[in-house]
Structure 1
């Protein structure tokens, strides 16, 4: 077979061939999503409010504000998941009252002794257990095994509405010490001991018991 002669296109044909070659996917430049997002953001604020082009520093400030807002939303949305993951290093939060049943007064005495000895972890645990045992003894809650710290706080919130936030804070402290391997501070220990004492002396807001 005879070899074909070399291709010798005219000017128009050469231009057409060159454009066809550039149109192939191998020569298409792909813009990254970061570049596209940045271009969209700068275009969005370039004429903000009809004031004309804004200085470059304004764009950076607006970008920082947007990022802070996004991070705040993400932090709020994932706070419960973060708390669960933090506690799950040694297992999920479990029951407040464990082992043989003891009177609230026994837990209360152990909490006071632990607080006096500087054992803040045990003071938090025993004081919150005194809250749990006292709620059962006064029939504010039924004697249900396996009730968690936050279930206790939620169940007692209608009975002691003024102490709702303190109950939730004490529940967090109990879980962090008992199931999250955290150390309680002296302030946390005193707060839970004081909370138990106030609830023990307080009259309930509801006549009926909570389950």
Structure 2
């Protein structure tokens, strides 16, 4: 009686199955990160090992535990390296006592002129935060993140909700180093700052009329 040979699993099929089980939509929304590159490498390795061992029964005795080990390593990397809840909420806008809005704006202008776009984005978001607090549109609070700032300010400046959310995303990307700051990013924050200065807050019940 001949042994039953397992159906061949091609490299592409092994990769597809692994992606279906272990991929997370969160990672598809951004440019490739270190985790993306590690995951791609492991998926390629898994597919290659599966393809190499598919031609003979004895090979699975050796390759089976290796596949399990590699799959376990991939799951651990995804759990260990994926963004935490705190990270998804965003970075704190102020790490120390804030300056005046004018001082933060002046610093942002200097950094932007010097091509130091990450610093320009950071200082511009700080200027926005202080300016909104000075106008009593948001309550002064230590440790407020850019994401929280955008959510709170959007409640009274709904016309700028999109710009505030985009500004928070840019700030968080720069703060965590997910994407390099660019001249376009600094310009977007500068233009948002200017729009917010002239934006008229919506009073309670005004939007219902």
Question: How would you bin the TM-score normalised by the shorter chain?
Answer: 0.5 to 0.7
How many correspondences in the alignment? 147
Residue in 2 aligned with 1:76?
A: 25
Question: In the alignment, is residue 183 of structure 1 matched against residue 180 of structure 2?
Answer: yes
Q: Distance in 2 between matches of 1:77 and 1:177?
A: 18
| In 2, Cα distance between equivalents of 1:125 and 1:86 | 24
**Cα shift readout 1:157-203 (whole Å, capped 9, x = no counterpart):** 22222222222221121122222264311111011011011101211
CA RMSD of aligned residues (A): 3.4
Report deviation, 1:128. Answer: 0.8
Which SS does the other structure have where 2:144 is aligned?
A: coil
Query: Where does structure 2 lack aligned partners over 5 or more consecutive residues?
Result: 36-80
* 1:29 corresponds to: 4
- TM-score normalized by structure 2? 0.57
Matched residue SS, 1:157? helix
Q: How does 1:54-69 map to 2 (within 5 A)?
A: none
Q: Are the equivalent residues in 2 in contact too, given 1:153–1:164 (CA < 8 A)?
A: yes
* 2:171 pairs with 1:196: no
Higher Rg of the two aligned structures: 1
Q: Distance in 2 between matches of 1:206 and 1:116?
A: 37
2:95 match? 98
Q: Whole-Å Cα distance in 1 between the matches of residues 82 and 180 of structure 2? A: 14
Aligned residue number for residue 54 of structure 2: none
Aligned equivalent of 2:115: 118
Change (3 A) 1:79 1:149: farther
Q: Which residue of 2 aligns with 1:170?
A: 167
> Which one of 123, 130, 135 corresponds to residue 132 of structure 2?
135
Does the 8 Å CA contact 1:114/1:122 hold for their aligned counterparts?
yes
The answer to whether 1:148 aligns with 2:145 is yes
Higher relative contact order (CA 8 A, sep 6+): 1
What secondary structure, in the 3-state scheme, does the structure 2 residue paired with 1:141 have? coil
Contact 1:87 1:179 in 2 (8 A): no
Quote how far apart the aligned CAs of 1:33 are: 8.3
User: How far does the alpha carbon of each residue in 1:8-61 deviate from its partner, in whole angstroms, 9 at most, with x for none?
Assistant: xxxxxxxxxxxxxx4xxxx552544849xx8xxxxxxxxxxxxxxxxxxxxxxx
Alpha-carbon distance change, 87 to 129 in structure 1, aligned in 2, over 3 angstroms: farther
1:131 Cα deviation from its structure 2 partner: 1.2
